Structure 1
Amino acid sequence: MQQEDAERELSIDELSQVTGIPSRTIRFYNTQGLLPPPHKRGRVAYYGGEHVRVLTLIKELKEKHNLPLDLIRQLLEIRAQHGEIQMNLALKQRLLRPLATSSQEARFSRELLLEQTGISPALLDELLRLELLFPVQEGEQALFTGDDLLLVELYRRLMELGLPLALVTLIRFHLRQLVRSEIAAFEQSLLPRWQSRGLPLEEQARQFEEILTLTDTLISILHRKLL
């Protein structure tokens, strides 16, 4: 995208040429409220740099991350209200937890987990012994979630690259210590503050989710920097 294209006013056909998105698709995005309203002069609509940026974002979110339009709309609303950094944090949170919704619904027996992942029963028993999986007890049966499937794939790939399970166990140990400190900070600092302000439960949940997003991102960046 040329700098002058981002600054000058564009007709819808020019906007289509700059972004590589068909005019009819731009009109559809307009009707869905994904774009800011165009500037009108008489009966002619003109678009500016913000429209170019938003369309570029939509294209990237659809093609690179394969996100549905409903989720893209939510991310764009976060961007409009809180800025690009917060939108990127929300996107990162979404990508870090791709199985979050399905994980709460899908349940896998031991046999199905072995079939889905292709690991040996001995390796599964070792992962359970080391508490590297988190099955849910339903009656007398331990059932696994989508998160467990993802964890197995991560462990297997790390081992294929030559890293031992001992390192994964060490990571889990230190993360557990970190989680305990986070819980203590929540109970001692956040909860009394929210209660004194009479913060509604929905707002508490929103702020807690934002804190999770920020800490997930912080850990990821610090991890890369310290390696």
Structure 2
Amino acid sequence: MAELAREAGISVRTVRFYRERKLLPAPRREGRIAWYNEHHLAQLRTIAALLERGHTLGGIAELLAAFKEGRDVGEVLGMESAITVPWSEETPVRLTPEELADRFAGEVTPENLTACLELGYIAPDGDEIVHVSRRLLDASSALVDQGVPLAVVLAAARQVRSHAEALAELFTGIIRAHVVAGALDGRASGEPLTEDEIAELTKTIEALRPISKSVVDAELSMAMDRRLRAEAESWFGLQ
């Protein structure tokens, strides 16, 4: 497994993770020895290429299953691309443990590290730590610099995650009911979309991306204005 990971340019931990997610077939075993071959390496490189194109691991699993079952991979790939092109614009950040400690002086405790791992903010990769989002990393460290304990920041992150999931459910419900359902209306069960229909669906979903972000940003901004005005009255005795 170590040799396979080295050839694929990933960590052994990642290989194990792909095995657990059924993205990589089991090796051939001879006693206690597990043998991987060029097929496993090619599959890892395919996974890496699809991840770079923005596909999710769940979508990749479906694509690999479709290939094994002889289904139309092009159809699955087209629909998966239309629906699951990432909406986030996050850039992962690689840090040494020392760099992470420097960003959060005195706050990198076992409890806070466990909370970060549970939130999916960080993941170990060899001797480094990968943070999923530069924006979230910068925001967290800025809050800590302003005197907010990291434990409080992470507790708030859990609540924000919960509200964000609810908003995502709302918007995906709208897309499902009024965009995807409309594209599938009048179609026989199992009948694939044409290339033109997939292109049109992708275009519509892409157009909804900035709209949903604008709605959330505008509502949050107005809510903060209302809340801060109300709080200022009690903080400073303002009318």
TM-score range relative to shorter protein: 0.3 to 0.5
TM-score scaled by length of structure 1: 0.40
Q: TM-score, structure 2 length as denominator?
A: 0.38
